[in-house]
Amino acid sequence: MFEHVPWIVKVVQYYLGMPLASLLQKLGIEVTPEQLFPVHVVTSLLIILSVVVFVSIMKKRLSIYPSMMQYIVEGYVGFINSMVIDIIGEKGKKYLPCIGTLGVFILLSNLLGLIPGLASPTSNINITGGCAIFIFVYYHWQGIREQGIGKYIRHFMGPIEPKGFNILLVLLIFPVEVIGHFSRPLSLSIRLFGNIFGEDLVILILFSLVPLLVPLPIMCLAVFTSVIQALVFVMLSTIYIAGAVASEEHH
């Protein structure tokens, strides 16, 4: 698969990857700098480091009279808070850190590729798949914590009749529910990866052919779709959490 290697990744591979690869080769482990520091890993770490530094600075500059940046951050937190309360209810507030952090990472990952010389981590299936698998494990774990493993598994068995479960109905519904749940991380990861990879590839091709003005409309559209894709990912993740922690009567 085609992959653009940003300059910052080349720097990391040269100054960190090569010495580390040489050391590992002396220990009998054959590895290249590109394998140690692939593009999606370096760019993801760049985003994580940038967010940590940004939050550390913002934490020291919080004010009753917010700056424009504080206003934007508070607006984002307020939006995510409203979304989880609307979808999950008041108890959804405890999932705000997870959903909010995931949304920031995906949004910044989507937008990073619009900066000349860089690439979007979410244009790599390993990153989108990792985010999707994390949510898959997280919402199942929260469902088990909220209701206990017995009650949670009963959600996969269809409606409960007055005399108990209908075994034929269970045999029909249970595999369908399991397949449906396992298809969720696949759809989340493929949808996000396909959209961002396509955007980055089109913009890169346009820049290589006509570097001025022509790519700008596509980049403006890419900003919009990057925001939408991040919103879709976090909204579906919130819906999955809501379904996992809902009481039995709501199923």
Confirm whether 28 is domain-assigned.
no
Q: Give the confidence band of 2 by pLDDT, cuts at 50, 70, 90.
A: low
- pLDDT beyond 60 at 130: yes
Per-residue pLDDT, averaged over 101-113, amounts to 95
Q: Which of 74, 100, 73 is nearest to 238 (CA)?
A: 100
Query: Which tens digit of pLDDT belongs to each residue from 232-245?
Result: 999 999 999 999 99
Token pair listed for 50: 């940038």
Token pair listed for 160: 């409960």
Average confidence score pLDDT of the chain: 88
Please tell me the distance from the alpha carbon of residue 237 to that of residue 251, in angstroms, as a whole number: 17
Q: Which residues contact 115 (CB under 8 A, 6 or more apart)?
A: none
Confirm whether 160 is domain-assigned.
yes
Structural domain span for residue 118: 43-250
pLDDT of the residue at 213: 66
Query: Which tens digit of pLDDT belongs to each residue from 28-86?
Result: 888 999 989 999 999 999 999 999 999 999 888 888 888 888 999 999 999 999 999 99
**CB contact at 8 A, 118 and 112:** yes
Confirm whether 11 is domain-assigned.
no
Confirm whether 56 is domain-assigned.
yes
**CB contact at 8 A, 241 and 139:** yes
Q: ∠ CA 29-133-130 to the nearest 5 degrees?
A: 45
Q: Phi and psi (nearest 5°) for 168? A: -70, -40
**CB contact at 8 A, 149 and 213:** no
Confirm whether 238 is domain-assigned.
yes
Residue carrying the six token digits 């698969």: 1
List the single range of 1-15, 99-113, 121-135 with lowest mean pLDDT: 1-15
Please tell me the distance from the alpha carbon of residue 107 to that of residue 113, in angstroms, as a whole number: 11
pLDDT of the residue at 222: 87
b/e for 197-213, b at 16 or more Cβ within 10 A?
A: bebbeebbebeeeeeee
pLDDT of the residue at 159: 65
Confirm whether 118 is domain-assigned.
yes
**pTM of the complete model:** 0.89
- pLDDT beyond 70 at 161: no
Per-residue pLDDT, averaged over 189-215, amounts to 81
- Total number of domains in the chain: 1
